[in-house]
Each structure stands twice: as structure tokens, then as C-alpha cells.
Amino acid sequence: METAPPATLALPDVLDLKATSHLVADLLALRGHDLELDASGVQRLGGQCLQVLLSATAAWKQDGAVLTVRQPSDAFREGLQLMGAEARLIPELAQ
């Protein structure tokens, strides 16, 4: 039996309070499936969206699905680093 390729969700340029509800809806629509988050275009990462992404990471793990971040922009990485969450969302960067 072949495994389906992961779904891809392109994150918006600005992940701030205004983007939170859309991010939650997009993630809920894809829950239960392996998912790649394309963070290449992110220019700003706010705390509320970070909380949503951390919650999604836990939910995907609980569901036995894989959630990965690919092509994180410098701004996305810097936001994660400033908030101490880099290792939680992009484990390979913590090594």
C-alpha cells in the first residue's frame, strides 16, 4: 500500500493576531494527514500564531501524523529563536 504524499500549507507572509483564525481553520481542515508547512514566505511571526503552530505540532503527534516545516525564511527562524521555540518546530536546527 502506497503512502500518500504529505499535504502542503503555505504559511502567510504575516503570522500575526489577524492571521490566527485563518491559520487555525487551515490546520483543522488538514488534521489527520501528514503536513508540510511552507514557511518560505513568512516575514513576521507573532506569538499567537506560534502558539497555534506549537499546538498543531502536538495534535499531529497525538494523531500519529507527521507535521514538518520546510524552507523556513530567515524571519521565521528569527521569530522562533526569539521566542525560544526553534527546537520545537524545526528540531534539525537545534542540533
| CA–CA distance, 95 with 21 (Å, rounded to integer) | 32
17 CB burial (10 A radius; 0-12, 13-18, 19+): exposed
What CATH number does residue 75 fall under?
3.30.750.24
pTM for the whole thing? 0.91
pLDDT at res. 22:
97
Whether 46 is covered by a domain: the verdict is: yes
Answer whether residue 44 shows pLDDT above 80: yes
pLDDT at res. 93:
59
Whether 11 is covered by a domain: the verdict is: yes
Answer whether residue 9 shows pLDDT above 90: yes
Answer whether residue 1 shows pLDDT above 60: no
Whether 1 is covered by a domain: the verdict is: no
Mean pLDDT, range 3-7, rounded to an integer: 85
Q: Are 72 and 43 in contact (CB under 8 A)?
A: no
Domain count within the chain? 1
By residue range, what is the domain housing residue 42?
7-89
Whether 94 is covered by a domain: the verdict is: no
Whether 71 is covered by a domain: the verdict is: yes
Residue-wise pLDDT tens digits, 62-76: 999 999 999 999 999
